[in-house]
Amino acid sequence: MSEVEIEQMQEKIDAGILLTQQRLIEKCKKEDGELVVMRDGEVMHITAQDLE
């Protein structure tokens, strides 16, 4: 693979991750759920109300 192809693939992967994050947040809001994430080495629970 050339450098250009690698860069294009990385851009597609990054875009896919962002889209997945957006869909997960939308689903959480729709189902009034809760997300569990790790920030600064600490596990955090984020409710749907906190996402808005």
Q: Please tell me the predicted confidence (pLDDT) of residue 20.
A: 96
- The pLDDT-based confidence of 1 (bands split at 50, 70, 90) is confident
Three-class SS of residue 32?
coil
Q: How far apart are CA 1 and CA 47, in angstroms?
A: 42
Which residues make beta-bridge pairs with 45? 36
Six-digit token string for 28: 């959480």
Percentages (nearest 5) of helix, strand, coil residues in the chain: 60, 25, 15
In the numeric block, which tokens belong to residue 31? 């189902």
pLDDT of residue 28: 92
> For residue range 13-51, what is the model confidence (pLDDT) as tens digits?
999 999 999 999 999 999 999 999 999 999 999 998 887
Residue 12 in tokens = 């597609």
